[in-house]
Chain A
Amino acid sequence: MSSLLHSLRRLPTISYVSAILIFFYLPIFVLITYSFNQAQYSLLWHGFSWHWYQNLWADRDLWVAAGHSLLLGVTAATIAMTIGGLAAITLHRYLFSGKQLLHALVFVLILSPDIVMGIALLILFSLINIPLGFWSLLLAHITFCIPFVVVTVYSRIVSFDPDIFEAATDLGATDMIIFTRIILPLLWPALFAGWLLSFTLSLDDVIISYFVSGPGFDILPLRIYSMVRAGVKPEINALCSVMFAVTVALVVLSQLLIRKKK
């Protein structure tokens, strides 16, 4: 009886949480459902169909854009992981002048809206004559991924027992040995999580890419944007569903890696 009363008391809270979660997920759920609907424009269910996915599969241009996005994402994530990971380790291990400033800069970059970085890089690239295309996109994507890698890796490294490093130093280990034998083995889940999040960011970025991409190098998020602007076609439902599924998988994996030892 008391447990029933207890559950009833919690009913408003439970319904509130559910309402917000429904708000988050209902549109996505509808989108995915209708990517399998046979009907072209109607919302009425006309039966299950792979038709729109088959259309996507046959779309050559889309494959080219997907290939570009994959190349860009993998390269940007790898370089951002290296630079951001080293930065996080450095911020934790060493004292150096400008350390506070570096810390602050990383967080300002996370907070600053994409559009500001987009136009700033556009001006930079046109000033130093970097043609808009793969290279401009790569430099931009590395730049907006680095702060997220730093934060992800740093929050893991501060949870390490500082005695480990001291013990290693006492036993005569150089920084290089500490780095390769202690830090890297302990830190790889966070580094990999940073890589996955960077890849996701790169795959999803519209605003910055919109400013620094060129006509010769089409990427998926911009392709989706132009498709959505052109009008509602059922293939977009399918494409968005695929993209959503891929990013959810990446995000879940990254969260598992970060949370493993908490």
Chain B
Amino acid sequence: MKSDHLLKHGSITLIWFWLLAFALIPFGLVTIASFLSHSDSHLIQLPFTLSNYVQLNNIVYLKIFEESFYVAGGCTLLCLVLGYPFAYIIARLQTRFRSLLILLIIIPFWTSSLIRSYAMITLLKPEGLINSTLRWLHIISQPLPLLFNDTAVMIGLVYNLLPFMVLPLLTNIERLDGRLVDAARDLGANRFTTFRKVILPLTLPGILAGCILVFLPAMTIFYIPDLLGGSKTILLGNLIQNQFLVAQNWPLGSAISVIFTLLLIVLLVIYWANMRGRMQEELSA
């Protein structure tokens, strides 16, 4: 019986200790750091100040926030438009290839996004597959500048994040009761009405989960703007990375990520309001 006690309380203590020490406390430290002052010799020092946040209210930073928002929003929308029909078709598919197809979506979900970004470069670069093919077909004579611009960043982001939209959608749509769709059709609803009134509301949790999994990383995977945008596109992730590792202004970098974390919290609250505790099912795919 003593070992039972140890098993239960030991496990609970262990997981709480770990998450407190390496997740909650560090996040708290970021928040504190964002209210401290910057110094060249100590990285962070007293006194407490609001100046980091005041400093962010500057046209340069506001522009980066705005651009990050547009790029991430555009990427999320594209992933949703491309991913929803894809997830829907696969979820409703009745073939023996189904588990193979699902595996083919899971693989890009888990494999290195850096390697997949690099693979995209080999496709887009001046002597890459697309340009070579177009030249070979005599459609173009000079290589198109496909790399190092905003479009390349967007392609890279969608390429990387589409699986993160598809997987939660797939899990959600799989659980959708097909009889409800049939019932709506039997009762005279056309395809569009059935989609709008039955399918869409029932798959909203999957949509929201997918959007969170795409929107936030789209702003912060700093190596995609770096590699595919040729460092011309600066998004939130690049800004934070720069403040921490180049400019060495930790308080300012912390302030940016606090604002970013607030955005995450807002999205989560919207999500929870729509879900009421069914969250884990979406993610346990």
Interface on A for B, CB 8 Å cutoff? 13, 16-17, 20-21, 23-28, 30-31, 34, 41-44, 83-84, 86-87, 89-90, 93-94, 96, 98, 102-105, 107-117, 119-124, 126-127, 139-140, 142-143, 146, 151-152, 154-155, 174-176, 179, 197, 200-201, 203-204, 206-207, 210-211, 221, 224-225, 228-229, 232, 236-237, 240, 243-244, 247-248, 251-252, 255, 259
Check B15 against A90 for contact (C-beta < 8 Å): yes
Shortest A137–chain B CB gap in Å is 12
Can you list 9 pairs linking A and B with CB atoms under 8 Å apart?
A17-B86, A17-B90, A24-B104, A30-B129, A107-B279, A108-B268, A123-B44, A143-B22, A151-B284
Check B101 against A17 for contact (C-beta < 8 Å): yes
Interface residues of B toward A: which range? 35 or more
Check B260 against A240 for contact (C-beta < 8 Å): no
Enumerate chain A residues within 8 angstroms of B51, measured Cβ to Cβ: none
CA distance A121 to B26 in the complex (A): 6
Shortest A12–chain B CB gap in Å is 10
Enumerate chain B residues within 8 angstroms of A96, measured Cβ to Cβ: 8, 12
Give which listed residue, B4, B105, B123, B250, contacts A30 with CB less than 8 A: B123
Judge whether B201 is part of the interface by a CB distance below 8 angstroms: no
Further pairs besides A34-B122, A142-B18, A204-B110: 4, Cβ < 8 Å: A116-B27, A120-B23, A155-B280, A255-B103
Check B221 against A207 for contact (C-beta < 8 Å): yes
Counting residue pairs across A and B whose Cβ atoms lie within 8 Å, the total is 238
Check B110 against A115 for contact (C-beta < 8 Å): no
Asked if A119 meets B244 with Cβ closer than 8 Å, knowing A112-B264, A154-B280, A236-B118, the reply is: yes
Enumerate chain A residues within 8 angstroms of B112, measured Cβ to Cβ: 203-204, 206, 221, 243-244, 247
Judge whether B74 is part of the interface by a CB distance below 8 angstroms: no
Asked if A43 meets B15 with Cβ closer than 8 Å, knowing A176-B4, A200-B110, A243-B112, the reply is: no
Shortest A167–chain B CB gap in Å is 17
Enumerate chain A residues within 8 angstroms of B3, measured Cβ to Cβ: 174-176
Interface on B for A, CB 8 Å cutoff? 1, 3-4, 7-8, 10-12, 14-16, 18-19, 22-27, 29-30, 33, 43-44, 82, 85-86, 89-90, 99, 101, 103-108, 110-116, 118-123, 125, 127-129, 132, 159, 162-163, 212-213, 216-217, 219-223, 226-227, 237, 240-241, 244-245, 250, 253-254, 257, 260-261, 264, 268, 279-280, 283-284
Which B-chain residue is minimally distant from A100 (CB atoms)? B277
Interface secondary structure of A, over-half rule:
helix
Check A86 against B212 for contact (C-beta < 8 Å): no
Which A-chain residue is minimally distant from B105 (CB atoms)? A24
Check A175 against B122 for contact (C-beta < 8 Å): no
CA distance A110 to B115 in the complex (A): 21
Check B241 against A115 for contact (C-beta < 8 Å): yes
Check B30 against A119 for contact (C-beta < 8 Å): yes
Check B119 against A143 for contact (C-beta < 8 Å): no
Give which listed residue, A109, A225, A237, contacts B114 with CB less than 8 A: A225
Check B16 against A107 for contact (C-beta < 8 Å): no
